[in-house]
């Protein structure tokens, strides 16, 4: 069947590559003009697939280009742009979309972040039939995975949900080709939606329980990077480890600084931060970071 792939980043690149390796007829690839679109552009050029880089998928000329390719199926492989409904209607078989959660749980742009922030122990991915809603279309297939206690958003995505998602997209195309692809309505009573994970939710409150803070820090790792303040500077926190034993130190106080991490007191224990950076700066190992800003024990985050 004639397929259009819309996407970006490593996921869009690998879906495009996997489809062509599987012998599918990819007639066009659409990716954004910035850095996030480069991987798809490069793989499309190498594979000889026609590619297009509109500023927005809603640009008027996109519709004519899209329709001119006469697609039977469109695939959304990590898309952050809004896809106009009239584009969704062009492919004769419909449009399918990858989403990194078990829909209808965790709809929205930051599904992996919120699964970890909320302390979920399992998540997964969904390939669904796109409609005009936000992650609301009928489910084609799902894959469930475990969230390890040490997982970050980055590790869960790149080690698990990305490669499994590529396989799922290929599997979905095969099911559609055989006429065996289901359309299972989502249970709206179980739906959750969270906003984008950005600085509005990434601030660390050291007075909260250690478990909650640990989930927040790893859920924001690598993006946007949870943060605390110190002497007016915004400090981003990564590679955290929880320490449950009570310290008696005020929440936010630096207890120790070692090569393994900066240990900071919480309400009921401590968090060890392995890597830190001043906002917009470079990530550093704990002792290197401490030297760079003259951080010492007894200093207090959250000032």
**Same domain (yes/no): 6, 137:** yes
Q: What is the pLDDT of residue 244?
A: 78
**Same domain (yes/no): 50, 109:** yes
Find the CATH number of the domain harbouring 263: 3.10.25.10
**Same domain (yes/no): 228, 171:** no
**Same domain (yes/no): 170, 110:** yes
Mean pLDDT of 20-33: 97
Residue 13 in any domain: the answer is: yes
**Same domain (yes/no): 150, 222:** no
Lowest model confidence (mean pLDDT) among 109-113, 135-139, 144-148, 299-303: 299-303
Mean pLDDT of 172-195: 98
**Same domain (yes/no): 168, 42:** yes
Mean pLDDT of 13-38: 97
**Same domain (yes/no): 143, 255:** no
Residue 299 in any domain: the answer is: no
pLDDT in tens, 73-124: 999 999 999 999 999 999 999 999 999 999 999 999 999 999 999 999 999 9
Residue 120 in any domain: the answer is: yes
**Same domain (yes/no): 139, 272:** no
% of the chain surpassing 70 pLDDT = 100
Give the residues across from 29 on adjacent strands: 5, 51
Q: How does the average pLDDT of the chain come out, rounded?
A: 97
Residue 225 in any domain: the answer is: yes
Mean pLDDT of 154-163: 98
User: Among 125, 157, 190, which residue terminates a domain?
Assistant: 190
**Same domain (yes/no): 154, 229:** no
Residue 243 domain boundaries: 210-293
**Same domain (yes/no): 168, 233:** no
Residue 34 in any domain: the answer is: yes
Mean pLDDT of 210-217: 98
Query: What is the C-alpha separation between 73 and 2, in angstroms, rounded?
Result: 6
**Same domain (yes/no): 215, 168:** no
Nearest to 165 by CA among 119, 88, 112, 114: 112
pTM of the predicted structure, to 2 decimals: 0.96
**Same domain (yes/no): 167, 288:** no
Residue 265 in any domain: the answer is: yes
Domain count, the chain: 2
């Amino acid at each position: 069947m004639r397929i259009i792939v819309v996407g970006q980043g490593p996921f869009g690149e690998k879906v495009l590559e996997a489809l062509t390796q599987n012998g599918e007829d990819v007639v066009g690839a659409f990716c954004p003009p910035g850095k996030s679109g480069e991987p798809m552009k490069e793989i499309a050029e190498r594979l000889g697939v026609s590619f297009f880089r509109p500023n927005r998928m809603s640009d008027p000329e996109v519709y004519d280009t899209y329709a001119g390719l006469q697609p039977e199926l469109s695939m959304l492989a990590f898309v952050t742009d809004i896809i106009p409904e009239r584009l969704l209607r062009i492919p004769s078989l419909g449009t399918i979309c990858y989403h990194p959660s078990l829909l209808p749980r965790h709809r929205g742009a930051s599904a992996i972040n919120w699964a970890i922030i909320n302390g979920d122990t399992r998540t997964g991915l969904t390939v669904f039939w796109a409609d005009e809603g936000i992650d609301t279309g009928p489910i084609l297939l799902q894959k469930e995975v475990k969230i390890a206690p040490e997982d970050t958003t980055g590790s869960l995505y790149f080690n698990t949900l990305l490669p499994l998602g590529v396989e799922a997209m290929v599997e979905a195309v095969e099911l559609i080709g055989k006429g065996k692809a289901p359309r299972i309505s989502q249970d709206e009573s179980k739906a959750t939606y969270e906003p984008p994970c950005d600085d509005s939710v990434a601030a660390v409150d050291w007075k909260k329980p250690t478990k909650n803070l640990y989930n927040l820090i790893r859920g924001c790792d690598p993006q946007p990077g949870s943060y605390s303040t110190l002497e007016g500077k915004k400090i981003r926190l990564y590679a955290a480890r929880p320490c449950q034993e009570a310290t008696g130190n005020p929440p936010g106080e630096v207890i120790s600084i070692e090569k393994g991490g900066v240990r900071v007191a919480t309400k009921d224990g401590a968090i060890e931060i392995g890597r830190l950076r001043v906002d917009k700066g470079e990530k550093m190992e704990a002792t290197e970071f401490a030297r760079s800003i003259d951080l010492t024990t007894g200093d207090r985050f959250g000032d």
